[in-house]
Chains A and B, each alone.
Chain A
Amino acid sequence: MTGAHVLTTNPAGPASATDGVADPRLDTTHGPILYLEDITVSFDGFRALNQLTLYINDGELRCIIGPNGAGKTTMMDVITGKTRPDRGTAFFGQIIDLLELDEPAIAQAGIGRKFQKPSVFEELSVFENLELAMRTDKRTWPTLFAKLNGQQRDDIEDVLHTIGLPEQRRQRAGSLSHGQKQWLEIGMLLMQRPKLLLVDEPVAGMTHQETERTAELLLSLAGKHSVVVVEHDMEFVRSIARKVTVLHEGSVLTEGSMDEVQQDQRVIEVYLGA
């Protein structure tokens, strides 16, 4: 991976391959793109999320921190349709009720997710991983006869360069290093052209240099996309964070800038001081 390939996406430039494509029903005129209200999720009586209320603004880059088990991943599970909450509401924009949709429908509405544990399709090549993630008709028959057109090839090429893996395009994804898999997964996220990106621990297992590039990439995406990043690496959070939300025991403990949050006495007690 060479640094020169990275960050060919210009956030201010003309429409690029990775710009989000909005579901026509996505209405963000009131500001937020994501509304989570009063969400409760229990596993055998244990409340992983406890009346969580959280709003993400359109175009915002939000960092979410919190100790292990705070419910960060569970929150993403609720947004992406993997886990149904016991109560509460989740809206994408003002009209799309996420709790009425299943995983593929939510993905197609414009929410993409990178998992905490890197999950790429190991038996497929890097190129094929990106090809499958690409925003296009994903029904069976069109998929059977799908052929890449020039534009789509270019889009995949662009993303290959953005994630710094152009030389590995034919390589089996399973043979990539841990950091490269993380990047490939981010690339798959970009291929979906989502409006809202949920990124769970993107820099776990990355070298210092890779971490820096990830920070640059996420920053470049904000604005045209809304990005929610969960991360334990405080240095990384500090380098990208505008607004930080601290989760603790399934609800929001506090929100604010990194400095405000780090000086908050409750945060120091539950998390940073630990």
Chain B
Amino acid sequence: MGISVLLARDAGGRVFLALLVLVGVFLPALHLLLPETSPLHISAYTLTLIGKYLCYGLLALAVDLVWGFGGILSLGHGAFFALGGYAMGMHMMRQIGDRGVYGNPLLPDFMVFLNWTELPWYWLGFDRFWFAALMVLLVPGSLAFVFGWLAFRSRVTGVYLSIITQALTYALMLAFFRNEMGFGGNNGLTDFKDLLGFSLQADGTRVFLFVTTALCLALAYVACRFVVSSKLGRVVVAVRDAESRTRFIGYRVEWFKLWIFVFSAVLSGIAGALYVPQVGIINPGEFSPLNSLELVIWVAVGGRATLYGAVLGAILVNYSKTVFTAILPEVWLFALGALFVLVTLFLPHGLIGLMSQRRGERA
């Protein structure tokens, strides 16, 4: 199925991709071409902030795939995002080389601080970008594979599955908090200097990261649309709605769940890897169970099983979060909770559902 055929049947997706191209081209242009005094100028800060939202959008896309289409309510997808982020962070850590505070050419500062003399084996290879990039895909993917294989094969579903995904991310958070794990403990990884030889502070690098994020989001959208429009996508929906029925027509349900779960975890890892160089830090807080719960709210707000709705939800909720936490930080969690309750009660199909309903009424 060519992209054109795929998008011919996806009006919402065409609008979404067009907007994404606009954002990906115009915002960097406004940043680079206009003088800082111009009211339309976009600061590097804003550009990076929006880049961060786009990473969240990619993560939401991944969650929508498993939850919206597959009916697998994962409350641990933040873990895959964080693992992708750590893999990228480890690469940038090693790129610092002897420019760290302690000037050790091989060991990151936090290891020197712990009096370590040798680089742990699992840090080997991360000095090469291609290796780190591979790990961005492989680490979340393998974890999802092993976890999903155990869970789906023993037919753990529904609320039990959700609980063990929360437990997974919680356990990882506790593990990454420990200094002995060798991932920088509660400080995480930070003080990155450059990526592929380009300074992370440089304007050009920021624009490049932003454009790359927009591009990855667009590609991921097309890939997800391909998956949900394929026969595999229909089987996954069938599993969501009538799991045992799907078995009786001869599908190995657990493999289909595993496929979609691993694919989604890999997308989450990519989102994390794009996120870390833009925000400049990754710490165990990213594994917090609360983070994973928030993802689900983004998707619910935007509209389940629409793909672009999830991205929209992620961007809107995070924009509100930015605004709220600046004005009334202590209210944010309550607002988020209220939003979730309201959406669940009154907008079962999210904002996208509301929009298409409006259009339907007018038509």
Contacts and interface: CB of A to CB of B under 8 A. Distances in A.
Interface of A: 80, 82, 102-104, 107-108, 112-113, 115, 119-124, 128, 131-133, 135, 138-140, 143-147, 188, 192
B251 A138 contact: yes
The prevalent SS among residues of B at the interface is helix
A4 to B, nearest CB: 28
A119 B245 CA distance: 7
A104 B245 contact: no
Given A107-B248, A115-B245, A138-B251, A121 B237 contact: yes
Interface stretch (B98-106, B189-197, B224-232, B341-349): B224-232
B225 to A, nearest CB: 13
Contacts of A139: 252, 255
Contacts of A120: 242, 245
Interface residues of B, number: 24
B249 A131 contact: no
B235 A132 contact: yes
B244 A103 contact: yes
B247 interface: yes
Given A104-B252, A138-B252, A139-B255, A131 B231 contact: yes
Given A103-B247, A140-B259, A144-B231, A132 B238 contact: yes
A147 B250 CA distance: 18
Interface in B244-283: 244-253, 255-256, 259
A113 B246 CA distance: 11
B355 to A, nearest CB: 20
B178 interface: no
A124 B238 CA distance: 8
B237 A138 contact: no
Given A140-B259, A143-B231, A144-B230, A104 B247 contact: yes
A138 B230 contact: no
Contacts of B256: 140, 143
Contacts of B244: 82, 103
29 contacts: A80-B248, A102-B247, A103-B244, A104-B248, A107-B250, A108-B250, A113-B248, A120-B242, A120-B245, A121-B237, A121-B238, A121-B246, A122-B241, A128-B234, A131-B231, A131-B234, A132-B234, A132-B238, A133-B249, A135-B250, A138-B250, A139-B255, A143-B232, A143-B235, A144-B230, A144-B232, A146-B232, A147-B1, A192-B250
Among B230, B238, B242, B249, the one with the most A-chain Cβ atoms within 10 Å of its Cβ is: B249
A162 B299 CA distance: 42
Nearest to B230: A144
Contacts of B247: 102-104, 107
Interface in B1-55: 1
Contacts of A143: 230-232, 235, 251, 256
